[in-house]
Structure 1
Amino acid sequence: MRDIEARLAKLAYNGDRNAFSELVDLYTDKIFHLANRMLGNRQEAEDIVQETFLRVYKNLGKYDPNQKFSTWIYRIATNLCIDRLRRRKHQYSLDAEVADGEGIDWHAMLASDEPGPEQRLILSEIQLQMRKAIEALPEKYKSVVILRYLHDLSLQEISEILDIPVTTIKTRVHRGREFLRRKLEQDKLLL
């Protein structure tokens, strides 16, 4: 896959629109899910997807084919999300959107074995608690937790995406996990 993506990136850089279109097809959903999880807002996630591909297109000449394309594009998307979070930090309530269910990926909450209404309700409440806990994570832990557990990236890949040493990534993953555990235990006591 790595060679295919590098070849597509090179073709796109040389003006092949079909090659760029294939890259967009390969990564649109992945980038959207990353942005939606980080930002908790579908509209902003869609904006991040567009901005990511715009930046990819403008910077194809800077892409190093020896590097995984996924690492490069995730770095762009993650940085855009972090910038967006920083800009809205003072004016955004973390549970404002979750309260009415907007921004929740309801399809992801449905199990494949088609549970009954009671199981769906329990599952949706667990997913909602997890989403709230992830949204409450401090910014420096949120991106590593999302990339590690929701996108199943290795610590090395996250290190390359965020341009942070692997040891720091390990620490942030551990602390983020601990924050989530405490938050979920606290919320459980409140239920």
Structure 2
Amino acid sequence: MNVMEARLAKLALKGDQRAFAELVDLYQDKLFHMAYRMLNNRQEAEDVVQDTFLRVYKNLDKYDEGLKFSTWIYRIATNLCIDRLRKRKPSYSLDAESSEHEGLDGYSMIPSDNRTPESEVLLTETQKIVHQAIESLPPKYKTIMMLRYIQDMSLQEIGEVLDMPVTTIKTRVHRGREFLRKKLEHKL
């Protein structure tokens, strides 16, 4: 898979449209699922996927072949999601110090009206509760928990995607789990 991605990226860099189309096919569903889970909004998730591929296309010449292509594309998509989360207008503040905690603005408490019958069927009751708990995390933890437990990335990969030291990722995974544990204690 990684060898194929690298080959496709090289061909796309040389202007091979078919290779770029294959990269799109390879990633659009994965990126959509990640963006949808982070943003909880179908339209915004579709926009993020489109923006990601536009950026990939425009910046193919900047792609560092020392980095896995998947890491690079996830980094772009994740950053676009985080930007959107930060720009959302808070409906209220979770606490008085919210400006100190980047993005801790209560947006995640707003119920989503984007649920589809298919997505309802796919999630068991427990999964739903866990997903809702992840939804309510502050963005800096939410992103990491999504990448770790929903995208099933290693701490190392998350560090590369978010361009952070693994020690920071470990701390945030630990704190994110603590947040979740407290939330789930009341629900499960």
2:118 aligned with 1:102: no
RMSD (Å), alpha carbons = 1.7
* Aligned partners of 2:36 and 2:45 also within 8 Å: yes
Pairwise CA distance, 1:101:
5.8
Work out whether residues 13 and 60 of structure 1, in 8 Å CA contact, stay in contact via their aligned partners in 2: yes
1:183 shift after superposition:
0.7
What's the offset of the Cα at 1:170?
A: 0.4
Note the residue ranges of structure 2 that are not aligned, 5 or more in a row.
Answer: 92-105
Provide TM-score, normalisation by structure 1. 0.84
1:131 Cα deviation from its structure 2 partner: 2.0
SS in 2 for 1:15: coil
Work out the CA distance in 1 between the residues paired with 2:133 and 2:67.
33
Equivalent residue for 2:40? 40
* Cα deviation, residue 135, structure 1: 1.0
- CA separation of 1:96 and 1:178: change in aligned 2, threshold 3 A: same
The answer for the alignment partner of 2:98 in structure 1 is none
Any idea what the Cα deviations from partners look like across 1:128-171, whole Å, max 9, x if unmatched?
Answer: 22222111101110111000000110100000000110000001
Check 1:74–1:107 CA distance in 2 against 1; reply closer, same or farther (3 A cut): farther
Structure number with higher helix proportion: 1
Letter in 2 for 1:142: K
Residue equivalent to 2:139 = 139
Deviations 1:59-99 (A, max 9, x none): 0001112210010000000000000000004247434443x
Q: Is the 8 A contact 2:155 2:170 kept in 1?
A: yes
Partner of 2:96: none
Contact 2:41-2:114 within 8 A present in 1 as well:
no
3-state SS of paired residue (1:94): helix
- 1:31 corresponding residue in structure 2: 31
Do 1:144 and 1:173's aligned partners in 2 also have CA atoms closer than 8 Å?
yes
Give the TM-score normalised by the residue count of structure 2: 0.85
* Identity of matched residues, %: 65
Determine the structure 1 residue equivalent to 2:166: 166
Matches within 5 A, 1:29-178: 29-91=29-91, 93-98=107-112, 100=113, 102=115, 105-106=119-120, 108-109=122-123, 123=124, 125-178=125-178
Q: CA deviation at 1:102?
A: 2.0
For residue 3 of structure 1, report the CA deviation from its aligned partner.
1.9
| Aligned equivalents of 1:101, 1:187: Cα separation in 2 | 23
> 1:136 & 1:89 partners in 2: Cα distance?
16
**Residue in 2 aligned with 1:19?**
19
Q: Across the two proteins, how many residue pairs are aligned to each other?
A: 173
Gap runs ≥5 in structure 1: 110-122
Distance 1:15 1:101 in 2: 38
